[in-house]
Structure 1
Amino acid sequence: MSVWESIIGQKPVCDMLSAIATGDSSKLAQSWLICGPPGSGRSNLARAFAAALESPDHGLDAEPTRVTRQVLAGTHPDVSILATDKVTIGIDEVRELITVSEQMPSTAPWRIIIIEDVDRMLERTTNVLLKEIEEPAEHCIWLLCAPSAQDVLPTIRSRTRIVNLAVPQPDAVAQWLERSNGIEASVAEQAARLAEGHIGIARLYATDERVRSERDELVAGVLNLQRASDAVLLADRLNADAKSQAEHDVERVAAREQADFRRINGLGESDRIPPKLRGAYNAIAKKDEIKRKATRRSRDVLDRALNSIASVYRDVAVLQNNAEESVGIINREHRAAIAELAAGMSRQGAVARLDHVAVARKRLNGNGNPLLVLEALFCALL
């Protein structure tokens, strides 16, 4: 299938970018800002666009070319991808990319630089990037990704061509889960609905029953909040679950990276690491690095939990405004409890609780203590 068929719910954008990739290169902008909410597929779209620009078939053949496979896998020598699990993107990383951008492509028509989550750059880092975005090297294309144009500095916005992605519809996500991941139809429908258009989370819910179960328990806990003690206990459980899941995920990735390192270097599981490779190998399992990645992953888990909490009060507002038939509710499994909550809460109360969730998200993003932030949130939701 073509590179565009793997992009979910973005047909108008895919058609536009495909036409540009296959048309006159003189009409091609060299600096792009691809914007879309988390899970909309902005990073995948950037890779697909890069593959369409670099591959001789422009990414259209049913059987992907070697160039297309390399670009999508992140291994093409002329396509550099900066993705980070840190809170911010470092200035040295950007300077290194700038050096790469000034080199001529080795095998493809373009030198392409993709920066995921460009909104994680501090202002001084963005200023380093600015000149290259404004006057890119002749054979270089920059593809920047961010949740929205407002999340990057105006100086970057004004020097890029902006592409805005839509939130994928649940039906499209569910069909993709069935087609590409072999998920049962009922599970795919539920996962797509609970993910609220986030493709990655939809896949997670569809393939990990434990994560779905934890979300269900969280929603039930929110609906049953009665006393301050309930709020404290729920906060403690959610914080502990987030830490446990993050540590497990990061350790699993580190183990896989170590196994890949051994395989690439022709080493068996029990073979001793040669002295000249020991530094690179140890860096993979460095405790400080694993701890840092686990902290970042824990924030992602908590962010997903905040979305689930907000969905409860979104559903309350939907029922209060008699809008279920037109927009539906997300937490169908808890409809009776949500209807009871909606009957006993004012419309202003539902909106206020959504504001409380937004404040908690802001505090977590500002490095607030997760347990204290969650305790304050759940007490505010009583």
Structure 2
Amino acid sequence: MSVWDSIIGQQAVTDMLSAVAAGDPRKITQSWLICGPPGSGRSNMARAFAAALESPDHGQGDEPTRAARHVLAGTHPDVTVLATDKVTIGIDEVHELITVSEQMPSTAPWRIIIIEDVDRMLERTTNVLLKEIEEPAEHCIWLLCAPSAQDVLPTIRSRTRIVNLAVPQPAAVAQFLENEVGVDEHIAKRAARLAQGHIGIAKLYATEERVMSERDELVVGVLNLNRASDAVLLAGQLNAAAKTQAEDDVNRQAEAAQADFRRVNGLGEKDRIPPKLRAAYNALAKKDDLKRRATRRSRDVLDRALNSIASVYRDVSVLQNNAEDSVGLINLENRSAITELAARVPRSFAVQCLDQVALARKRLAGNGSPVLVFEALFCALIP
């Protein structure tokens, strides 16, 4: 497999970046902004591009070179990735990246800095980055990732070359799940359809039965909203499930990090941590850090819930406009209930509900109380 094989449904972009990596290094743009909706694979695209840039064959071979494999695995000394589970990227983290960017590469042609979710930076943090993006060190390439160019400051996007990714088609996502993840064809197709082009969520649905079940319960709950009490109950259930899922995920990641720490340092599962390593080991599961990461993860779960809720009213609108043959339904398993809802509400109702979902998303982004946000949303969705 080549360095680009993990990229799904982005052939035009991979062809372009492949040509750039193989071209004259003196003409390569040094600051890039890779944009795509959640799940489109923008971070994977940045890593694949970095692998092609650092590889002796520029990513043109059928198999990745040793350098490319290290980049893709996150172990290349000249490629630094800033990814965060926190709500925002800190200014100190960016200062550290700038220091790294000034260093000469040790083994490869370029020092490459990848920043995932650059839209999570506050304005003052982005301003620290601005000068480096505008005038990068001669040997450094910056690859920034964001949902869209509008999600970053104009000063940043005006100083970068923007690459826009498409939403992968469900068929391509399903094929990926079958070939790379090894799931059943039926499960792969259903997960790809429900994920609406989001590769990460499709993989989650295909491999985590609990997550899929919670989505099914949410859709049924939305379709059965009749009274304010239904709305309050559903909001409570959703937020409790999001909190539990987030905490479980974060604790699992912390445990995996501690297990990896033990392995790297030659310690068994029950071996006592030496005093000189104890601080570093405990930092992997620091309570405050886990709480911040769980908050971020919970927001991701709730954002996914908003997409699922919106899909219901998207399907209602599709049926009301006789467009099922051309665009299909997302929630095929709930077709009967959605058909019934589409028959008893005016066309304007679906549009109003989608507006309410957008408003809830805005309120969550503004740090609104998740329980109150969803109570208000579900009350607004009662026919």
- TM-score under structure 2 normalisation? 0.98
Secondary structure of 2:294's counterpart equals: helix
C-alpha separation in 2, matches of 1:179 and 1:2: 15
Q: Which residue of 1 aligns with 2:255?
A: 255
How far, CA to CA, are the matches of 2:59 and 2:377 in structure 1?
Answer: 47
Q: Spell out, residue by residue over 1:21-70, the C-alpha distance to the aligned partner (whole angstroms, 9 max, x if none).
A: 11211221000000000000000000000000001122233332221111
The 3-state SS of whatever aligns with 1:159 is: coil
RMSD: 0.8
Within a 5 Å distance, the mapping from 1:297-376 to structure 2 comes to: 297-376=297-376
Check whether the contact 2:3–2:63 (CA below 8 A) recurs between aligned residues: no
Distance 1:289 1:149 in 2: 29
Tell me the alpha carbon deviations over residues 178-208 of structure 1, each in whole angstroms, 9 at most, x when there is no partner.
1111111111100000000000000011111
Instruction: Determine helix, strand or coil for the equivalent of 1:64.
Output: coil
Letter in 2 for 1:354: L
Following superposition, the deviation at residue 289 of structure 1 comes to 1.4
Q: Which runs of 4+ in 1 moved over 3 A?
A: none
CA distance in 2, matches of 1:60, 1:253: 35
**Which residue is equivalent to 1:277?**
277
Identity of aligned residues (%): 80
Q: Give, in angstroms, the shift of residue 322 of structure 1.
A: 0.9
Amino acid at match of 1:299: R
| 1:101-138 Cα distance to aligned partner (Å, 9 max, x none) | 01110000000000000011111111111111111000
SS at structure 1 position matched to 2:76: coil
Q: Aligned partner of 1:153: which letter?
A: L
- 2:39 alignment partner, SS class: coil
Name the CA distance, whole Å, in 2 between partners of 1:204 and 1:61. 31
Per mean C-alpha deviation after superposition, the further-off stretch among 48-57 and 58-67 is: 58-67
Offset at 1:210?
A: 1.5
Q: Spell out, residue by residue over 1:195-232, the C-alpha distance to the aligned partner (whole angstroms, 9 max, x if none).
A: 00000000011111221111111000000000111111
Task: Find the aligned partners of 1:253 and 1:85 in 2 and give their Cα distance.
Answer: 11
Are positions 1:169 and 2:169 aligned together?
A: yes
Asked whether the 8 Å contact 2:21–2:59 carries over to 1, the reply is: no
CA distance in 2, matches of 1:58, 1:340: 55
1:80-119 matched pairs, under 5 angstroms: 80-119=80-119
Q: Which amino acid aligns with 2:19?
A: A
Q: How does 1:23-38 map to 2 (within 5 A)?
A: 23-38=23-38
Secondary structure of residue in 1 paired with 2:113: strand
Q: Secondary structure at the match of 1:142?
A: strand
Aligned counterpart, 1:125: 125
Contact 2:87 2:292 in 1 (8 A): no
Q: Could you list the runs of 5+ residues in structure 1 that have no partner in the other structure?
A: none
Distance in 2 (CA, whole Å) between partners of 1:135 and 1:266 is: 43
Pairing 1:203-242 to 2, within 5 Å after superposition: 203-242=203-242
Mapped to 2, the partners of 1:198 and 1:157 lie a distance apart of 24
Pairwise CA distance, 1:73: 1.4
Give the Cα separation in 2 of the matches to 1:277 and 1:66.
31
| Total equivalences in the alignment | 382
How far apart are the structure 2 equivalents of 1:179 and 1:52? 23
SS, match of residue 126 in structure 1: helix
The one-letter amino acid of 1:42's match is R
Aligned counterparts of 2:111 and 2:285: Cα–Cα separation in 1: 32
Per-residue CA deviations over 1:302-326 (Å, capped at 9, x if unaligned) read 1101100000000011111111111
The corresponding residue for 1:135 is 135
- SS of residue in 1 equivalent to 2:5: helix
Equivalences for residues 141-220 of structure 1 within 5 A: 141-220=141-220
1:69 is matched by which residue type in structure 2?
A: R
